[in-house]
Structure 1
Amino acid sequence: MSEHLSIPTPAGSFDAIAAGPADGRPVLLLHGFPEAAISWEYQVAVLGDRGYRAVAPDQRGYSPDVRPERVAEYGMTSLVGDVLAIADELSWSRFDLVGHDWGAAVAWWTASEHGDRLRTLTAVSVPHPGALSYALRTDEEQQMRSQYMRDWRDPSTEKRMLANNAEALRRMFEWKVPPSRVDEYVQRLSEPGALTAALNWYRASRPAASIEKVDVPTLYVWSTEDVALGSVAAFETENWVTGAYTFQMLEDVTHWVPEEVPETLTAMILEHLAAH
């Protein structure tokens, strides 16, 4: 069984789920949009059972106590800062970092800028930002796939996503996530200001400077039926990792990897951790 934590940081207290012995090898798991820490519930429980200390926080905007109103406060510097602040509060000098969707983007930036803090990196779905940038420049299909990121900056997005019992928000999950879990995501994002905070991740300006290559031992997991992220960026990612690199491709799996194939993904994570 996972436990619930409140992790105080200078930005506010992050809600989190956790499992495993306090002195276990530390693993931090970062969720994406429009989810929460509970998307990692299965992985946290299994990692805990295996003796790791697994912690998954509700990230900035998703934790009610860390929900700034200014869009600028959802920039990558703040998001990476949250990762380090959480690790510092947990007294983790080095840790393994796992991320899915936006959590993977934050994990890539953390590995690029603070690789000395990480034992390993596991990125799920989202490729290295440099590889995605390459695909957006060269691949018309990826340009089309990524159009939603521009669309969601529109101020009408919240109303559109929550209309008709959040039909648009629910449809995003492609019926691959358990309905009870989707209900919980919808309930959380229907709280005043919550969906705006989550969408501010898309509205904040992103670093113009080119991200560096990553030298941390890296596992990248990509699924062939991901509607948002195509193969060009996925295959380009190996060119952005100078450390040990493992690429796993999941056939006939959609974007929602942690919840759609939890056993498969967890086995891959455990193998990666054991190898490094």
Structure 2
Amino acid sequence: MSPRRISTYSRADLTFDVTDSGPLAGPPVVLLHGFPANRHSFDAVVPILNEAGLRTLVPDQRGYSDGARPRRRRDYRAIELQRDVLALVNAAGGERAHLVGHDWGGAIAWQLAASAPERLTGITVLSTPHPTDLVRSLVTSDQLLRSFYILMFQVPWLPEILLRRRLPGLLRWMGLSQSAAAMYGEFMSKSGRLTGGLHWYRGMWLPDRRAPRQRTVTVPTTYLWGNRDQALGRRAAELSGQYVRGEYRYVELDENHWLPENAPKLVASEIIAAVSRDPVRYQTPGL
């Protein structure tokens, strides 16, 4: 009988959906999506990683999994989102994993690399600059204009009303393919999912005494940024390496924001190369 693969994992009375594929004994790679996507944003990346011998764990994150959608904004504070990821690594039977994150998933990757480096072999971040440098860029570049929508997202219910029918068209305008934009629009049209995704914007910045203050990243880091990204500008991207004390690779691509969907082969090749450079390669037996 073949080993059982994870389809869900639980934490704090929440149940998360996850796709677990590739060889069970392969180096584990956790891939985190952003807004308003889901685990299928990595559908074209995962088979390449599996073919290279990597085990991939791709969850629908908090607010996106139907069994993991708390209603309070404070349940989406950064430390809760980070602990969700560590719970997945634990459920897979591992001590460490290589962490890949796009958009909000990239923010979690930066934060975990600073706060829990002992649980990661390395990180690959797609699009999202280091959070501290993103804040700095708000007053030193055009990033404040690019990020203005975040202020609108703080208003209760109105963003949901405005986005529900307009989301696919907005995603197409931002450079996502028609098929992916339609898929994400359909996914987010189901009850509660759009609010769950928007709660990342509403809860991430809430004060939290439990939050670690460490900002410096010591694990090997690869950062990919598209120079046609409409949401995240050059200034923050180029600053991001200053908080990395480990090995650092910065790659500028002639792409827009949607790197996993629009450049899957390139993204996969960078992840494979990054894992091959990780100083620790853990084998996980699975469950």
- In structure 2, how many angstroms separate the alpha carbons of the residues matched to 1:41 and 1:176? 18
Which residue of structure 1 aligns with residue 202 of structure 2?
A: 203
- In structure 1, how many angstroms separate the alpha carbons of the residues matched to 2:170 and 2:6? 29
- In structure 2, how many angstroms separate the alpha carbons of the residues matched to 1:147 and 1:20? 40
Which residue of structure 2 aligns with residue 249 of structure 1?
A: 252
Which residue of structure 1 aligns with residue 243 of structure 2?
A: 240
- In structure 2, how many angstroms separate the alpha carbons of the residues matched to 1:34 and 1:118? 26
CA drift of 1:93 comes to 0.3
Overall identity of the aligned pairs, in %: 35
CA drift of 1:10 comes to 2.8
TM-score (norm 2): 0.89
CA drift of 1:89 comes to 1.1
Higher mean displacement: 11-20 or 58-67: 11-20
Query: AA paired with 1:66?
Result: A
Query: AA paired with 2:143?
Result: Q
Which residue of structure 2 aligns with residue 153 of structure 1?
A: 154
CA drift of 1:160 comes to 0.5
CA drift of 1:207 comes to 6.0
CA contact (8 A) 1:18 1:44 kept: no
Residue by residue, what CA displacement relative to the aligned partner does 1:58-77 show, whole Å, maximum 9, x if unpaired?
00000000000111101101
- In structure 2, how many angstroms separate the alpha carbons of the residues matched to 1:210 and 1:131? 15
TM-score (norm 1): 0.92
CA contact (8 A) 2:74 2:206 kept: no
Unaligned runs of 5+ in 2: 279-287
Which residue of structure 2 aligns with residue 29 of structure 1?
A: 31
How many equivalent residue pairs? 269
The alpha-carbon distance between structure 1 residues 218 and 228, as it changes in their structure 2 partners (threshold 3 A), is same
Unaligned runs of 5+ in 1: none
Higher relative contact order (Cα pairs below 8 Å, separated by 6+ residues): 2
Which residue of structure 2 aligns with residue 215 of structure 1?
A: 218
- In structure 2, how many angstroms separate the alpha carbons of the residues matched to 1:188 and 1:30? 17
Question: In the alignment, which of 76, 79, 87 is matched to residue 77 of structure 1?
Answer: 79
Which residue of structure 2 aligns with residue 127 of structure 1?
A: 129
Which residue of structure 1 aligns with residue 229 of structure 2?
A: 226
Task: Tell me the SS of whatever aligns to 1:248.
Answer: strand
Higher mean displacement: 28-37 or 201-210: 201-210
Which residue of structure 2 aligns with residue 102 of structure 1?
A: 104
- In structure 2, how many angstroms separate the alpha carbons of the residues matched to 1:39 and 1:14? 16
Which residue of structure 2 aligns with residue 144 of structure 1?
A: 145
Provide the aligned C-alpha RMSD in A: 1.7
